[in-house]
Amino acid sequence: MSKIPYRTYLPEDKLPKAWYNVRADMPEQHDPYLNPATLKPVTMDDLLPIFCEELCRQEVNTTDRFIEIPDEVLSFYRVYRPSPLIRAYNLEKELKTPAKIYYKFEGNNTSGSHKLNSAAAQVYYAKKQGVTNLTTETGAGQWGTALAMAASYFKIPLTVYMVKVSAQQKPYRKAIMETYGAKVVPSPSDTTESGRAILAKDPGSTGSLGCAISEAIEVAVNTPNSRYVLGSVLDQVLLHQAIIGSEAKAAMDMLGEYPDIIIGCAGGGSNFGGIMSEYMGDKLKGRGNPYFIAVEPASCPSMTRGKYAYDFCDTGKTTPLAKMYTLGCEFIPSSIHAGGLRYHGMSPTVSKLYHDGFVDEARAVRQSDVFKAAALFSKIETILPAPESAHAICAAIDEAVKCRESGESKTILFNLTGTGYFDMAAYMNYNEGKLEDYIPTDEELQKGFDSLPKID
Ligand SMILES: *Cc1c(COP(=O)(O)O)cnc(C)c1O
């Protein structure tokens, strides 16, 4: 057999034409979203004013195993997909491991992350429905950038509420969004009631994701023909991200490879849901048994130390309640933490799969180890990873080192979600030895749990 290449790109005729919907193969579904006012399950009618119709249908679709990708979205995907599946020969050699390491690289587009996969789909359905204005929030800026790219391609005006401190610290992120034609408003702003209320209390407020969400939703609800869009957590986002795993599996199949271990970093759960997709389907159907590891920061440990409970999806307590692993919607990770993945909760589907034992392990890693892994990876594999992605790298390296010690030749697949060009402040701190680890105490976590809505 000829040697497996460093990079594998799927040929045109093998590109996925449908998104795989893992819920169709799950023995049990996650608990329904609840309306926080009535505590009744959320219905299609509750969702329709917030999300586009087709996306609402996808959100509640637990039966169709495959959902066709519209041609217009496929043509957009064609420009930057398939993403390469890379055999990390150089890293294997560096680690002296008998393990085979593969990674799917999702940073090959201007937004620098996998988020474009769902942004393209969400904006397309908005356009098709005749929506004329979109709003969203962005923290670090990846989601806002991805959405700005998709909104300019499908020609819908977009307003991004960007956490003020982020807008100040990452002026180039803001500039990219503006170059694609998006309007970027540092949040809190004086353009909304919620923003003005916060500024009245604290004129120097540097903002929070919760506040930016409240502003974005307020504008969407008060502007005719406007919708709000979200970049992670929801089932529709997991569905779109399944393209990552479907491509990875088709490429691995071509090479005659099957992963023993599948690793993804987990913030809201969308890229982990994406890389697992059809492999999780195999596991649910008893056709394969890969070991799934979701990796999170020790400073924001929703799966490893959180509660499986109903909670709000946002800090501002405006969204429906979701049953998920959560630290409590008022939990805010320490500002010492620079590695992203700061979300308090976790995708309800990923949570359910973990709760039921199909996701085998959640692992919390310290940021000092994460940046060490990132620095090593960038030197050996040439790609400068996003700190978020480096959580997965860190776990993959640990697994490869275990193989060196045990002599087992396992096949490891991980998702490299993006590049870190806009995270250089964190890298600078790491280079200067200034990056500290922060691990919340049980007492600190308890404060977050105290903010959980009282249900059951
Ligand atoms: C947003 C983001 C993540 C985390 O989000 P998920 O929904 O958990 O995938 C991970 N990596 C990068 C590069 C991101 O931009």
Domain residues for the domain of 349 are 7-14+69-112+235-449
Average predicted confidence (pLDDT) for the chain: 94
Residue 315 has pLDDT above 80, yes or no: no
Mean pLDDT calculated for residue range 383-393: 97
Query: What is the domain-level CATH number for residue 343?
Result: 3.40.50.1100
Which of 209-213, 287-291, 436-440 shows the lowest per-residue confidence on average (mean pLDDT)? Answer: 209-213
Residue 62, in any domain of the structure: no
- In order of 14, 194, 277, 415, the CA distances from 66 in angstroms are 16, 40, 11, 22
The CA–CA distances, whole Å, from 282 to 245, 251, 323, 334 equal 12, 16, 25, 38
**pLDDT of 335 higher than 80:** no
Q: Who contacts 329 (Cβ-Cβ below 8 Å, separation ≥6)?
A: 210, 311, 312, 313, 314, 315, 317, 344, 345, 451, 452
* For residues 251-258, average pLDDT: 98
Judge whether residue 207 has pLDDT over 90.
Answer: no
The CA–CA distances, whole Å, from 435 to 375, 425, 426 equal: 13, 11, 8
Query: Which residue's structure tokens are 């890693």?
Result: 365
**Which numbered atom of ligand 1 lies nearest the CA of 112?**
13
Question: Is residue 5 a contact partner of residue 263, using CB atoms and an 8 Å limit?
Answer: no
- Gyration radius (Cα) of the chain, Å: 21
Residue 58 has pLDDT above 60, yes or no: yes
Using DSSP's 3-state secondary structure scheme, residue 149 falls into helix
User: What is the CB < 6 Å shell around ligand 1?
Assistant: 113, 115, 142, 232, 265-272, 341, 386, 388-389, 417-418
In a domain, 219, yes or no: no
Pocket test for ligand 1, best of 104, 106, 108, 115 (most atoms within 8 A of CB): 115
Q: What is the DSSP string of 295-337?
A: EEETTS-HHHH-EEEEEESSTTS-SPEEEEEES-TT----TT-
Q: Is the pLDDT of residue 221 over 90?
A: no
* Nearest Cα to Cα of residue 423 among 380, 378, 381, 362: 378
- Residue in 265, 303, 313, 391 to alter for ligand 1 test, most ligand atoms within 8 A of Cβ: 265
Model pLDDT for residues 432-455, shown as the tens digit of each residue: 999 999 999 999 999 999 999 988
Q: How confident is the model at residue 333 (pLDDT cuts 50, 70, 90)?
A: confident
From ligand 1's centre to the CA of 143, what distance in Å? Answer: 9
Q: Domain for residue 167, yes or no?
A: no
CA distance 276 to 350: 10
| pLDDT of 373 over the 90 cut | yes
Among 372-376, 383-387, 424-428, whose mean pLDDT is lowest?
424-428
Q: Tell whether 44 is covered by a domain.
A: no
Alpha carbon of 271 to ligand 1 centroid (Å): 6
Work out which ligand 1 atom sits closest to the CA atom of 231.
Answer: 7
**Any idea which residue has 């982990």 for tokens?**
272
Task: Measure Cα distances from 307 to 319, 344, 446 in Å.
Answer: 19, 11, 10
Number of domains in the chain: 1
> Is residue 317 included in any domain, yes or no?
yes
285 lies in some domain: yes
In a domain, 193, yes or no: no
> How many Å is the maximal CA-CA distance in the chain?
69
pLDDT (mean) for 55-65: 96
- The secondary structure element, H or E, covering residue 64 is none
What is the C-alpha end-to-end distance of the chain, expressed in Å?
58
Q: What is the mean pLDDT of residues 282-298?
A: 98
Q: Please report whether residue 386 resides in a domain.
A: yes
- Cα 202 to ligand 1 centre (Å): 30
Write the pLDDT tens digit of every residue in 177-187. 999 999 999 99
Q: Compute the average pLDDT of residues 400-419.
A: 98
Task: Please identify which residue in the block is written with the tokens 């589907």.
Answer: 349
Question: Long-range CB contacts (< 8 A, 24+ apart) of 429-432?
Answer: 429/338, 430/371, 430/374, 430/375
Banded pLDDT at 456 (limits 50, 70, 90): low
Alpha-carbon gap, residue 155 to 395, rounded angstroms: 40
Q: What is the pTM of this model?
A: 0.96
Q: How far is the CA of 152 from the centre of ligand 1 (A)?
A: 22
How many Cβ atoms sit within 10 Å of the Cβ of residue 49? 11
